[in-house]
Amino acid sequence: MSTSRLQGSDIPVLYEDNHLLGVIKPVNIPSQEDASGDPDMLTLLKEDLKERYNKPGNVYLGLVHRLDRPVGGAMVFAKTSKAASRLSDAVRSRSFKKLYAAVVHGTLHRPSGRLQDALSKDSRTNTVTVVPKGTEGAKEAVLDYKVLAEQDGFSLLLIELHTGRPHQIRVQLSHLGHPLYGDQKYGSRQNKPGQQLALWSLLVSLSHPVSKEQVQLRSNPPATYPWSLYPESLVSSAVDQHCST
């Protein structure tokens, strides 16, 4: 898929029509406005749409799903309220497919598997923990993982996310004993300050909210450490194989 870049920005565009805007979210930019007051994806993209299309007044752009601030990769936004509503329904019905790559510490006991946990969020500290199933207020979190390669004490994983809970991948893998490289929040014992979290949104696949055609937004991780430990083709081939099954 060819990419262009938003005017005056480092945000590559993967897909755009009257209903959807698919982009590659750079790392360390919030998905939406937060307490930091730093520029966020939703605001930056709205400003770009307003300028590019010379639109007066407020521009509509719907946040369909979120990526944690340190996470980069494929992300889709809705340009109409109808598209936003239909995509939100797709997220709830789990027909909205999301694939991620992650580099974690250690060697997993099983080459592939499913993690099912109950997660509880503490809004005061913005942290999430695995709690016993049945805990009041806890939400189910489900993901599938596959080990693609092991190198220098790290494992490269392909992850299919079935639920979109806050910090889900990071929390579940840390609970398993394999925190993500660079995760200061859920792997501070293994990671050093300043390391970039190794989690990347590889694929967002969805049925177009109007035409119903399948739309796939893909983005490979950057060629920086620890991604550089593994051939780029390894991730691309894994996504191709997953999409063909």
Q: Give the helix, strand, coil percentages of the chain, each rounded to 5.
A: 20, 35, 45
- Per the residue annotation, which of 40, 48, 68, 183 is the catalytic one? 68
Which amino acid does the sequence have at 113? G
Nearest partner of 26 among 8, 43, 9, 38, judged by Cα: 9
The rounded distance, in Å, linking the Cα atoms of 163 and 77 is 18
Q: Across-strand partners of 25?
A: 73
Nearest partner of 169 among 155, 179, 154, 184, judged by Cα: 179
122 has catalytic annotation: no
Structure tokens at 116: 């099912």
Q: Which residues contact 172 (CB under 8 A, 6 or more apart)?
A: 115, 117, 119, 130, 141, 143
Active-site residue numbers? 68
